[in-house]
Amino acid sequence: MDIKVKETKGQIAAILESYHHDKKWLISILQDIQGQHHYLPREALVEVSEGLKIPLSQVYSVATFFKAFSLKPRGEHTVTCCMGTACHVRGAVKVLEKLERDLGVNRGDTTANGKYTLETVNCVGACALGPIVIVDGEHSGQMTTDKVKPLLEKYS
């Protein structure tokens, strides 16, 4: 077993322990794992299934049902375009399409060089600033298509 896998095992055991191996906290446990790894690695899901004594299929059904979880590794930077109604009526679609063109990926995907993951979110509740794009947790408001390129350049 290489060091990285061992380390992951230790972290997941600690997370399971903090929830007393109680299966009612499955979603919170997956959130904590994703918080550490930015996605849900298969080995982690296997360990959760063993630790909580529930079928792996049940862990997968929850991991694939909720939007918050990703089974694929994420890029170095996460670019999130808000698609809430307030952003939509102020032109979020045009901004998202520009992001897709500039990054060369569709929503939900990661660029080939592993640099950016493009995501959408249903609403971040900062509607006064719409349309909003969030890069690594930093909000940029009142976005238009011509502001996309300078924004991405900041993270290149």
Nearest to another protein of 64, 114 (CB atom): 64
Q: In angstroms, rounded to a whole number, what is the distance separating the alpha carbons of residues 29 and 61?
A: 14
String of contacts with another protein for each residue 28-47, x by CB under 8 A: x-xx----------------
For residues 66-105, which are near another protein according to CB under 8 A?
66-69, 83-86, 88-91, 94, 97-98, 101
Q: How far is the CB of 20 from another protein (least distance, A)?
A: 12
Give burial (CB, 10 Å; 0-12/13-18/19+) of 76: middle
Nearest to 22 by CA among 64, 57, 61, 54: 54
User: Which of these ranges, 4-12, 36-44, 58-66, 111-119, lies near another protein under the rule CB under 8 A?
Assistant: 58-66
Block residue for tokens 């899901």: 45
Nearest to another protein of 112, 128 (CB atom): 128
What's the one-letter identity of residue 131? P
